[in-house]
Chain A
Amino acid sequence: MTDHLGELAALYALGILDPREARAAEEHLLGCDACRRLLAQAQADVTAMAAAQEQLEPPTRERAPVVRPVTFGLNRMWLAAAAAFAIAILPAGYLFEQNLAMHQAMLADEQAMARIAASPHRSVAFSGMDAHVMYGPDGSWYCIVIRGASAPLHVVWPHDGTRTMLGTAVPHGDVALLYLPKSHRMDQLTLMQDDREVGQAQLVF
């Protein structure tokens, strides 16, 4: 991101940018003092909101683990090791790391999509929602893509009077994706939200 953050500073402070936007903002912040100051004001505003909510005392029995890494001497070795590890292996800033898990999940999704794009495949839409399954003609892999998903959806294979749970598609942004390297030829897939069936696809081999 080369442009200044502007209104995005408020969204960043609220934690509601998607991971790609957040990462771009973080990269920009590293080199822009003006935007860091803009963000400082937005952070102060969000903190004022947090402070205006009900304030709760941390449970006494669990206070120590929070304090210990930064307060008590017994954790000096742990802290030294963590700091050395961070300096040697994790040069990226805190805010990048905060979104790392989400970035990694998205990267895995993209890698799966790249493999799929390079292979011959078929595609069938699910009835009932904006979703489709891409699959190898030999039934060696399946990739379920769901758009506009707001909650995790279970992918189920109904067969022989039973249902086999294959996995869960978890939304990242507004897309949920599940890659299944299965060897079975599954002629039907169902999407479930909790115990409710929300989509169905008939596959042809």
Chain B
Amino acid sequence: MSALAVERPRSMRAVPDDEALAAAFAAKERWAFDEAYARFGKLLYSTAYHVLGNAEDAQDCVHDALARVWRSPDSYLRSRGAVRSFLTVCVRNEAITRLRSKTRRRRLEERVAAEPQEHDELGAVDVIEHDRLRAALRTLPAEQRRPLELAYFDYKTHVEIANELHEPLGTIKSRIALGLRKLGAALGAGE
């Protein structure tokens, strides 16, 4: 990366569009990382928080995921889609990996027993009832909704889901894929 590439181009001083951001992000131009974090930082943090359930762990997770993207030479290709989606999935996968690790599992178990320290305001409302995702999920047929819920909220593998629901593995894969696409369309996901 050249020194010149670090600076945001003058022509983009206003607000670069998604295409320009993706191209600069793929070229590892540093301003693109700044811009991506400025735009998506809240979404990335929230994504990690919903998996890990803890502010400190969520911050660490976002930090580490972004640092890895930055230092891996071929981490992002333009054909991998929008920067926003790419980073969100990277952060979510990082969070799931952490959740599954022995140390994190122990710490989370301890935190479940502890009084919540962060985001106390959430305790006053029923988040489940108020989030748009749960409402959208309710529009799916039960045969698609249940495996997708187990995948998204419980981080179960497709094998675990097939065992739990007593359905063939191929059926579960199809239902998750179909449910995800329908839900994405309902929630207005572009590519």
Contacts and interface: CB of A to CB of B under 8 A. Distances in A.
Contacts of A50: 43, 46-47, 50, 88, 92
A65 B47 CA distance: 18
B5 interface: no
B160 interface: yes
A98 B94 contact: yes
B127 interface: yes
A17 B172 CA distance: 13
B180 A93 contact: no
A41 B191 contact: yes
A91 interface: yes
A195 B74 CA distance: 46
A109 to B, nearest CB: 13
B158 A16 contact: yes
A130 interface: no
B11 interface: no
Contacts of B65: 98
A56 B45 contact: yes
A102 interface: yes
A49 interface: yes
B59 A58 contact: yes
Interface string A67-84: 101110000000100110
B92 A15 contact: yes
Interface residues of B, number: 84
A185 interface: no
A91 B71 CA distance: 10
| Secondary structure of the A contact surface, majority rule | helix
Interface string A39-60: 1111111111111111111110
A103 B28 CA distance: 28
Contact of B90 (A9, A48, A98): A98
Interface in B69-101: 69-77, 79-82, 84-86, 88-90, 92-94, 96-97, 100-101
Given A46-B88, A101-B97, A152-B105, A94 B157 contact: no
A137 interface: no
A97 interface: yes
A66 B102 contact: no
B20 interface: no
Contacts of B66: 66, 69-70
Given A7-B176, A10-B177, A15-B92, A66 B131 contact: no
Given A49-B184, A59-B118, A168-B102, A54 B73 contact: no
Contacts of A62: 55-56, 59
B79 A46 contact: no
Interface centre among B132, B161, B185 (most CB of A within 10 A): B132
Contact of A69 (B63, B79, B157, B187): B63
Given A50-B47, A102-B100, A90 B72 contact: yes
11 contacts: A18-B159, A39-B81, A44-B184, A45-B184, A46-B180, A49-B187, A53-B132, A55-B43, A70-B33, A83-B1, A83-B70
Given A46-B89, A50-B43, 12 more contacts: A10-B180, A16-B161, A39-B81, A41-B81, A44-B82, A46-B92, A49-B152, A49-B180, A58-B55, A62-B56, A66-B37, A67-B41
